[in-house]
Amino acid sequence: MTRFALTLEFDGTPFFGLQRQAHGPSVQQSIEDALHRITGETVTLHSAGRTDAGVHALAMRSHVDIAKSFDPFRLMEALNAHLRSERIAVIACEVVPDDWHARFSCTGRRYLYRIVNRRAPLTLMRDRAWHVAQPLDADAMHRAAQALVGRHDFTTFRSVHCQAADPVKSLDVLDVERVGEEVHIHAAARSFLHHQVRSMVGCLKLVGAGNWPEVRIAEALAARDRGALGLNAPPHGLYFVAATYPEEPAP
């Protein structure tokens, strides 16, 4: 049995999320079905993170165990051939040790949230970013975001369906910057709660639009109450950017 690490890029628009779902298509199901056609084996895809319906990935790390012998490059080529009609690409494939696990060996995860901040509607960026027409103050958003950096109880910013045992997480980075007509929010942590990034972004948008004072972010955090959440950002602006592992250079 050989363990292969896959790096995946995907457009989350047509999927009900990364993880296999009983009620709709998923990235996991597409890849597992492709591997079954290639190898004849029933395999399980394990990934560094779980993404909701509509969320995208630039470099999701995953792994599969395959009994047959394959050259990593040939396996990647075969997978991409079978996934050609899907919005999924395998951009890297390598053999890893048996104790390497895409989820449990991961020591850090990075996300990017993209807001297109202009009056005109989206065409090319439709379903790839959150369109916000009113002007946003990215500097105010960044200042407010710093109240969330560090180790906190993020109950306010977690989904009511979150399955994590503990709402306490350590947020390493939450930076906001303007890039032309876009506002980018960068988030990094060892792990995140369900909807945490989208919930933080939604509240920061309220600050940027002048609906909330900057201090309201810290107050929402201190409330430890989902009822204090102002807004949950839509999924289509969120991108899984990278996963970090021991003895690997930071991406």
Q: Among this protein's residues, is 175 annotated catalytic?
A: no
The token duo for 114 is: 């993209």
Catalytic: which of 52, 71, 137, 166? 52
Helix or strand (DSSP H, E) at 223: helix 215-223
The token duo for 38 is: 């290639």
The token duo for 160 is: 């009511």
Round to whole Å and give the CA distance between 128 and 91.
20
Tell which residue, 101, 111, 20, 24, has the closest CA to residue 64: 101
- The percent helix, strand, coil of the chain (3-state, each to 5) is 25, 30, 45
Query: C-alpha distances in angstroms, 83 versus 19, 34, 76, 130?
Result: 17, 7, 10, 27
Burial grade of 111 (CB within 10 A; 0-12, 13-18, 19 or more):
buried
3-state DSSP assignment of residue 251: coil
Q: Which residue numbers are catalytic?
A: 52
